[in-house]
Structure 1
Amino acid sequence: MREFEKKLNTSRIWYAKYMDAAKRHGKKVVVGLAGGLLLVVGVVAIPYPGPGWLIVFAALAILATEFEWAGRILHFAKGKYDAWQHWLAAQSAVVRALFWCATAIVVVLTVWLLNGYGFMCDILGLDWPWAHSPLPIFAR
């Protein structure tokens, strides 16, 4: 009976170690996938009005809980973002206006290319062919 109990305890210890390792690796995979997906969404959202940079920083913070490199990138990116904000604030009104006009052009072109205006024309029953995206994936 003693031998059996000894083997049982050994197997329990091995099982506990194995499960702890599996949980750690599973968590790392889940954090990596969720943080990576959120990071992609944030990078895509950067040029648009809204929380693009906030999403990027949140994704990097999530990734930094499991990956040391993400913490280094987060620290670096925050510094560069702050430097960019200070630089832009120090510029003349003309430079700031040009920056915001360029941002608006990027947004308008992206919505057009993704057929946002064409979609709204279809909903409203407008026959404006120029509002539809030129991309073949959105062809009617």
Structure 2
Amino acid sequence: MANEMMNRHNDIFDAMNDWFDLPKKIFDNNEMAKLMQADVVENDHEYVIKVDLPGMDKDKINLSYNNGILSVSGSRKSFKDMSKDGSLIHRERSEGHISRSFRLPNVAASDIHAKYDNGVLTINLPKQSANESENSIQID
């Protein structure tokens, strides 16, 4: 019976912990990352990243590569195409700013190439060869 009472006590606290963790789950970076889905492929010569960014204008997407980290960000304004036809009763298309970073070492930053087509951003990041590395020091 004492074990039964302890289990009931634990169930109540587990439910409370789930409730208080809800804001954390909503604003967790992993949850935001689901909104910017990506595939990363590595081979001997380069990294290739494909990022889904549906509905974004190419000029609203920003890319930067600094200190071994590729940052991808984008923003989308509100959709006004429905407001002139009547009252909006349900909305699922989101608006706002989103960003994501990828740690990719040894990239030849000056040779990075990106292409945006049909809502998919493809980024090619060529790897530096051993003799191009900025951090290598030759000993005489």
* Structure 2 length-normalised TM: 0.27
Q: State the structure with bigger RCO (CA 8 A, min sep 6), 1 or 2.
A: 2
* Structure 1 length-normalised TM: 0.27
Larger radius of gyration: 1
Bigger helix share: 1
